[in-house]
Amino acid sequence: MIGLLKPHRKRVRTITSDNGKEFAGHEEIASKLKADFYFAHPYSSWERGTNENTNGLIREYFPKNRDFTTITQQEINMAMERLNSRPRRSVVYSLTEGGQKSAM
């Protein structure tokens, strides 16, 4: 995870994960990326909205009944390209006269 995110370190400010054992080294991850690390509460998927949304998008390409050991690198690359090129909604902010942020 560190290797994947390190090139984007300036853009990574926080990481929110579930409570899986794969994040046992969260202190090292947070330290190396200079990011705050948070854990979602169990059974609180809304605390990881982007993650849950991305999982749903990935499932469009690789359904739950698909054996992941049969997925080829070519399939992964295709799904990755399509997901990363997909238009996403964003909120555009502007400053009001008083200097406050306002959603457009």
Residue 29 located in a structural domain? yes
6-23: average pLDDT: 84
The predicted model scores a pTM of 0.53
8-20: average pLDDT: 84
Judge whether residue 91 has pLDDT over 70.
no
CA of 70: how far to CAs of 36, 62, 73, 78, 98, in Å?
A: 36, 10, 10, 15, 57
Judge whether residue 18 has pLDDT over 90.
no
Residue 55 located in a structural domain? yes
Query: For residue 59, what are the domain limits?
Result: 45-88
Question: Where does the pLDDT of residue 102 fall: very low under 50, low under 70, confident under 90, or very high at 90 and above?
Answer: low
At 20 the pLDDT is: 80
Shared domain for 57 and 72, answered yes or no, is yes
Residue 66 located in a structural domain? yes
62-76: average pLDDT: 93
